Amino acid sequence: MQFSAAQIAMMINGKIEGNADAQVASFGKIEEAISGQLAFLANPKYEEYLYTTNASIIIINESQELKHSIQATLIRVPDAYTAFATLLDKYQQIQTQQLSGIQQPAYIDATSKIGEGVFIGAFSYIGENAIIGNAAKIFPNAYIGNNVIVGENSIVHPGVKIYHNCIIGKNVVIHGGTIIGGDGFGFAPQADGTFKKVPQIGNVIIEDDVEIGSNTTIDRGTMGSTLIKAGAKLDNLLQIAHNVEIGNNSVIAAQAGISGSTKVGNNVMIGGQVGIVGHLTIADGSKINAQSGVSKSIKTPNTAVTGSPAFDYTAALRSQAIARKLPDLEKRIKELEEIVKEMKDRVA
């Protein structure tokens, strides 16, 4: 599939410098691209490759100043990284839109409702009263349980399991191996030291435009719903416990875990391997640094925290700076103690 510079510029609202008829058929890194590929430059660290790359078309920022002549056709946009992401998304949509129909063998219960333009891959299971919206893509070996709703244009990748009664919105992407709606971790301690399982009768609701990485687990609510709000982006290998809420446009990096009933606000950024205990509130705009352990609610919006237990990011940096100086401070204290001792001996 080939695209001209003129077609690409139209898709991303860019301005062409050079040959508008230049053609590309694939993408490449600016430092490795060959003729016939499209690259982009957003990070100034890679500017040197702008003048040596063999890419046929390069997307660059409007503000980018040229130090030397360039053979490639340039497309200038306000934000090269965002424009490139938009282009990749359109390219991916073109590829996935070509998928349609039902491969065999696949089990589709007679009571389920399948929309138009749907793709269902081989060895998939669609349960009783499930609803698959128009243009949704269910890849091979996926499991869609009873009464599950998968919204329009959503993509369920291979090996995903969506348990009964869960609701998936529109334009959601769920990557391979993820499990939606498994039982929450609820066990009541008994007098004899054993634990009695608490039935988990809620569900999971994932709103529109959410993306969930591979091998993530999102547990159903004990009662009510575990809720992932519109626009949230979840990485691979996350544990989201029962009745957690993740706010609009919040992002969570890999290997983080959020315990039951914690409410994460809108536009929150959570780094990799963060642990958050249960029943907390994380205010809108909070930023939690990687490997932090959050044991108390963050009540002030736009707060940045780090450490375990996590506390104010700036204060934590100051503490680290002081900690590095502790050996020198200890030496100075010992010297002062010796001086004080000598002075006492003289007085005596």
**Tens of pLDDT, residues 234-285:** 999 999 999 999 999 999 999 999 999 999 999 999 999 999 999 999 999 9
pLDDT in tens, 329-348: 888 888 888 888 888 888 76
Domain residue limits, the chain: 3-97, 101-312
Q: What pLDDT is stored for residue 311 in this prediction? A: 67
Q: What pLDDT is stored for residue 169 in this prediction? A: 98
Over range 170-174, report the average pLDDT. 98
Q: What pLDDT is stored for residue 328 in this prediction? A: 85
Closest CA to 288 of 258, 260, 318, 261: 258
This prediction's pTM: 0.82
- The reply to whether CATH 1.10.10.350 applies to domain 101-312 is no
Asked about 242 being catalytic, the answer comes back as yes
The single residue of 157, 164, 175, 242 carrying the catalytic annotation is 242
Q: Is residue 299 pLDDT above 70, yes or no?
A: yes
Q: Is residue 155 pLDDT above 90, yes or no?
A: yes
Q: How many CB atoms lie within 10 A of CB 95?
A: 9
CATH architecture assignment, domain 3-97: 3-Layer(aba) Sandwich (3.40)
Over range 196-205, report the average pLDDT. 96
What is the rounded CA–CA span in Å between residue 228 and residue 208? 9
Q: What pLDDT is stored for residue 326 in this prediction? A: 83
Over range 80-102, report the average pLDDT. 86
Q: Is residue 176 pLDDT above 70, yes or no?
A: yes
Q: What pLDDT is stored for residue 1 in this prediction? A: 74
Joined tokens for residue 6: 């003129």
